[in-house]
A and B are shown apart, each in its own frame.
Chain A
Amino acid sequence: MPVAFNMKTLAIAAVLILGLLVPVFVEDTYVRHLFIIAFIYAIVAASWDLSLGYAGIFNFGHVAFFGIGVYATGLCAKLLGIDPWIAMLIGGVVASAAAAVVALPVVRLQGIYVVLVTFAFSQLVLQFVISQSQITGGTQGLVRVPTIELFGYNFLRDYKFGYYYVAFALLVISTLCLRFITRTDFGLSIRALRDNEDYGLARGIPIGLQRLKVLVASAFFAGIAGGFFAIYLRVASPEVFNFSTMALILSMVLVGGTSSIYGPVIAALALTFISEGLANVDGLAEGRFMLVAIAMVLVLLFFPKGLVSVFGKRAGKSGA
């Protein structure tokens, strides 16, 4: 349908232009900050959807991959003096390497055992970070992480103007890559394994290898997002491993609907603004996570395909 295709291209172009124009019209530093955080969460949520939604791997360690990116980048940039841009990339690579280690047992396990191993992994990473306090800063976190520069431009200037575009570029590139991955033969094969494992196996799809690749790929995006998170906030704090962070990002995936890369991205934008808005209400700084928890249950009860599906988006079109 060429008409629909054009409409879609137009919509994407409109969103891109809007995204590029935001910092021109929004001069408030705090609102820009919210956009940047939302973009980072959007990358984490969308890449989580690749392993959880598309591949159907019960991966509950995704936020740990994000946290590993945060710490790997922070440590490389601060202690080893590596250029922060490169350090961000290293964050992605280290997160992928961690995912490969977790994948070793995970590809051979089924159902609940996958949840348990990935979950236990994320908690052990947290304990490890806290225990190695002489390097990681322990519960205090790693502070004063060096930040990025580009052709002599200092990103600390101009009220986060530059950071906004880096975050936006990262989001656009990640979303494009994730969309691309899901549309390749590889993406098709992981969906086949999710929907009918026996049939997929019978057609000769190497299940272990595909699952390993999915985990490694999805962790890479989360790691890069974590790297930018550390560079942007200039701290690496163990809070990124919190159950609360995990619940918030999981709720983005759920609200956005699994098996749709765009859904979690949209949900991440909306939920970051709502959640940060609530954080400023008295007594809700921590209490907002109770609301997030309630929202998660309500979405699962009444909109199992994600809230986005309510607005007529074809969220589940890829066979969820």
Chain B
Amino acid sequence: MTMDMISAILVSGLVLGSVYALMASGLSLVWTTLGIFNFAHGSLMALGAYFAWTMTDAAGLNLWLGAGVAIAVAGMVGVGILIERTVIRPFYDDKDILLITVMTTLAVMIFLEKGIQFMWGARLKQLEPLVPGQVNLIGTTISAQEALIIVLAPLLLGALWAFLRYSNTGRGIRAVGQNPAAAKLIGVDVSKLFILTFALSAALAGLTGILLGSVRFITPTFGAEPLVKALIIVIFGGLGSLSGTIAAAYIIGVVEAALIFFVGIYWAPSMLFALLIAVLMLRPQGLFGKTVR
């Protein structure tokens, strides 16, 4: 194994890991706070990319890229609020909320996927890169956009962490996650924080889609593959902790890159799943997880 190979695996693993970390942290955030798992997360990612495409592409509104991205992310916040209102909120008091919201968010996923196809058609689309050109990173050449993803992901995740740790709202979100009843007693507006958390997660998904949308082609099912990877990551990392999720995302990213390098792109997903089953046999609560909620 030469240095070139190691560098190639590490760099592509970092790109994958960064995308997965952005995806999975949104899932993890919603899980710890609302106690539900959002299967529509992948289609939200696709929707964000399509929003940005419509805003910025010559065939769309042709806005300046930054403005287009900002509007798309704002749009995602709106979509997030709408979803929380319609398919999650009615079930907060149901004892089967977990199973029911799995099904309602699955329904949202189908709805968005088919809706996107309806609105934008099935043809491949691509976003303009936020930064053009190529970059050489420890001996491996990647597009500047991929380098941007590597740099931006830790910054965004760091900001998320700081927000949850130091701001009042962020502390409120964590309090609700730990004990909704007690949080309500000390005057936290639980309902408001639920909406906020879900909207934040939707915006994060949309942003991931926008970042990835200039690296890969956007299709209505663009979010399905990252969602499955994010599922594997949250199982590995244990859903309960944001740091565990992020660590798992980078580990899986590098492992996947190595698998693609050694066994090829076709076998990598199956090997990853075999690895997952092995881990679960030994540690049913995930690699970093504590107890199951």
Contact = CB atoms under 8 A, between A and B. Distances in A.
Question: What does DSSP make chain B's interface, helix, strand, loop or mixed?
Answer: helix
Interface bin, chain A:
35 or more
A115 B228 contact: no
Interface in A72-113: 101, 104-105, 108-113
A105 B281 contact: yes
Contact of B106 (A58, A104, A123, A247): A247
Interface string B212-253: 000000000000110010011011000100000000000000
B281 A297 contact: no
Interface residues of B, number: 49
A117 interface: yes
A150 B176 CA distance: 64
A201 B284 CA distance: 19
Looking at chain A's contact residues, is the secondary structure mostly helix, strand, loop, or mixed?
Answer: helix
B113 interface: yes
A297 B235 contact: no
Contacts of A105: 276-277, 280-281, 284
Given A115-B102, A289-B110, A296-B104, A109 B273 contact: no
A109 B104 CA distance: 22
A124 B87 CA distance: 27
B118 interface: yes
Interface in B235-293: 235, 239, 265-267, 269-270, 272-273, 276-277, 280-281, 284, 286, 292-293
22 contacts: A104-B281, A105-B284, A109-B284, A110-B292, A112-B31, A112-B102, A112-B293, A115-B99, A115-B102, A116-B231, A117-B277, A119-B39, A120-B228, A124-B270, A131-B266, A243-B110, A247-B110, A286-B117, A292-B107, A293-B111, A296-B107, A300-B103
Q: What are the nearest 5 A-B pairs in CB distance?
A: A131-B266, A105-B280, A293-B107, A293-B111, A123-B228
Given A113-B280, A243-B106, A243-B113, 16 more contacts: A104-B277, A104-B281, A105-B276, A110-B292, A112-B102, A113-B235, A120-B231, A121-B273, A123-B228, A123-B231, A243-B109, A247-B107, A247-B110, A290-B110, A290-B111, A296-B107
Interface of B: 31, 37, 39, 86-87, 90-91, 94, 96, 98-100, 102-104, 106-111, 113-115, 117-118, 224-225, 228, 231-232, 234-235, 239, 265-267, 269-270, 272-273, 276-277, 280-281, 284, 286, 292-293
